[in-house]
Amino acid sequence: MNIHSLIQLLVVLEECRRPERVVGELEHIIRSYGFQYYGLLRHLKATEDPISLMLAGHWPEKWPQIYISKKYVLTDPTIRYLAYAQRPFRWKDSLAAFRKDPHHRRMEQMMADAHSHGLKDGYIFPIHGRNGILGNMSVGGTPVDLSPVEISLFDAVARKAFWRLLDLKGEAQTLEDVSGIDTRLTRREMEILQYLAEGMTSVEIGKRLTISNHTVDWYMNGLQDKLKAKNRQHAVAVAFRHGLIT
Q: How many CB atoms lie within 10 A of CB 114?
A: 24
Which of these three, 126, 150, 175, is where a domain ends?
175
Model confidence band, residue 45 (pLDDT cutoffs 50, 70, 90): low
Mean pLDDT, all residues of the chain: 87
H-type alpha helices, the chain: 3-15, 19-32, 50-53, 63-69, 77-82, 91-97, 104-116, 148-168, 172-175, 187-197, 202-209, 213-227, 232-241
Q: Is the same domain home to 129 and 237?
A: no
Structural domain that includes position 222: 187-241
Model confidence band, residue 51 (pLDDT cutoffs 50, 70, 90): confident
Does pLDDT of 73 surpass 90? Answer: no
74-107: per-residue pLDDT in tens? 889 998 888 777 799 999 999 998 888 888 999 9
Q: Is the same domain home to 170 and 198?
A: no
pTM for the model: 0.73
16-40: per-residue pLDDT in tens? 999 999 999 999 999 999 999 999 9
CATH number of residue 192's parent domain: 1.10.10.10
Please say whether the beta carbons of 232 and 220 come within 8 A: yes
